[in-house]
Amino acid sequence: MPLSNAAQRDVETVIHPYTNLDQFRESGPLIIERGEGIYVYDSDGKQYIEGMAGLWCTALGYSNEELIETAREQMSNLPFTHVFSGKTHPKAAELAERLKAIAPHEASKVLFCGSGSEANDQQIKLIWYYNNAKGRPEKKKIIARHQGYHGVTVATASLTGLPANHKDFDLPISGILHTDSPHYYKNGKDGETELEFSQRCADNLEKMILDEGPDTVAAFIAEPVMGAGGVVMPPEGYFEKIQKVLKKYDIYLIADEVICGFGRTGNMFGAQTYGMEVDTISVAKALSSAYVPIGAVTVGEDMYQAMLDQSRKIGVFGHGFTYTAHPLASAVAAKTLEIYERMDIVNVVRGVQPTFEARVAKLGDHPLVGNTRAKGLLGAIELAKDPAKREAFDPSAAVGVKLAAACQAHGVILRNMAGDILAFCPPLIITEAEINEMFDRVEKALDDTAAWVAKEGH
């Protein structure tokens, strides 16, 4: 079928991230024209449940009138100013105060930016800056994890532990290391308990630190739940055991809360869900319900004092973006946090969490599904050719891609990730009835995909 004029214009002008650019020239885009609540509508008027909240981010759903009005008022009053050289605007402090009040550690200040990638890039720069201030110029290496996702700048794509983000980009850069993914279903040994697997991960981390030299390792960065790497939930005892190693060698713990923050896992932050004792967090996405790009890093007092020392020595804190604490983004984000507080977002999530988690678990009964996992309103299913043996499909069969397409045909937008994993991350405003509607559609898509697998002999 030939592409529509709108689709052809897009093909000829726009580069699409995380897309097979060659295949896209034939298939063209799905053009989304409007959204309301948990639903979006394409250019033909077809309705879809946005089962991924966009890209793990549109927490308050689409067309929230308070956020729209807040943006309109801010644009009318002060569409732009900057916070360089001691200048500011009222919404910067309001947002920083709100974020400090709910942070899962003692935050002294907040450093804003434009995205999660920029937030984690700032984390790298700050930890280097901090150790220079502390007279530890060799303590600079940062450990991330295989399957982790932390962004796409040169530095944060290096932190990201996914092959497609490294291949032919000449990444990772030096000084970035990767330790075990805590994916128990995939990486646990036969007969190994979750606690034993967690201990093995911690032992391997300690060996890496000792091999590199503890005086050269500065920080460990982790998503509480790995998002783009497959919605990997930490196994029993994982962060407790990892943190013992980090404390032993004075290694800074960065929680990448870009996906897990603001109620997603049934607590305000994923760090609280999994007992992480963090030094700092990176946030973005749901910070503004994705209505306006914004990200942030929380800064503890010790880090802030080091920044002061360097400013005295150098004469300036030589970092910042044109859009740091942009007034439009700050206003919308402050209103978003106000709405979360007013609606008690954590208990809203907890109210529907049992239904969501039960429906994810029920998909484990399907013959195509090898593993299910869910926490709060974040979940995934992992497909398997032989679930009993944890045998994966041949990647060339692209069964996960087929399932995502079948879901889309049934009116649910979900995301397939490497390893035939289908992720779920609906807007936090989703109701029990809407959760059931979403999974009813997914079950039909699974049946369609199973029929296709049988027909094709995969």
Backbone angles phi, psi at 5, to 5 degrees: -60, -45
The DSSP letter of residue 234 is P
Same fold, 31-63+345-456 and 66-343: no
Give the pLDDT confidence score for residue 457 in this predicted structure.
Answer: 80
Would you list the DSSP string of 22-73? HHHHHH----EEEEEBTEEEETT--EEEETTHHHHT-TT-B--HHHHHHHHH
Binning pLDDT at 50, 70 and 90, where does residue 392 land? Answer: very high
- Segment 409-422 shows an average pLDDT of 95
Q: Which CATH number fits domain 31-63+345-456: 3.90.1150.10, 3.40.50.150, 3.40.50.300, 3.20.190.10?
A: 3.90.1150.10
**Cβ distance 377 to 352 under 8 Å?**
yes
CA distance 320 to 130: 16
pLDDT over threshold 80, residue 149: yes
Q: Which of 423, 450, 442 is nearest to 368 (CA)?
A: 450
- Judged by average pLDDT, the poorest of 21-25, 104-108, 126-130, 297-301 is 21-25
Backbone angles phi, psi at 221, to 5 degrees: -115, 135
Domain locations in the chain as residue ranges: 31-63+345-456, 66-343
pLDDT over threshold 90, residue 154: yes
Q: Write out pLDDT tens, residues 170-217.
A: 999 999 999 999 999 999 999 999 999 999 999 999 999 999 999 999
* First-last CA distance in the chain: 27
The DSSP letter of residue 80 is -
Fold of 66-343: Aspartate Aminotransferase; domain 2 (3.40.640)
**Cβ distance 97 to 290 under 8 Å?**
no
Give the pLDDT confidence score for residue 388 in this predicted structure.
Answer: 86
pTM (two decimals): 0.96
pLDDT over threshold 80, residue 1: no
Q: Write out pLDDT tens, residues 52-84.
A: 999 999 999 999 999 999 999 999 999 999 999
Q: Write out pLDDT tens, residues 323-372.
A: 999 999 999 999 999 999 999 999 999 999 999 999 999 999 999 999 99
- Segment 87-107 shows an average pLDDT of 98
Pairing of strands 378-383, 369-375: antiparallel
pLDDT over threshold 80, residue 451: yes
Can you tell me whether residue 83 is helix, strand or coil? coil
- Segment 130-156 shows an average pLDDT of 97
Helices (H) and strands (E) in the chain, counts: 16, 15
Give the pLDDT confidence score for residue 192 in this predicted structure.
Answer: 97
**Cβ distance 164 to 419 under 8 Å?**
no
Give the pLDDT confidence score for residue 421 in this predicted structure.
Answer: 97
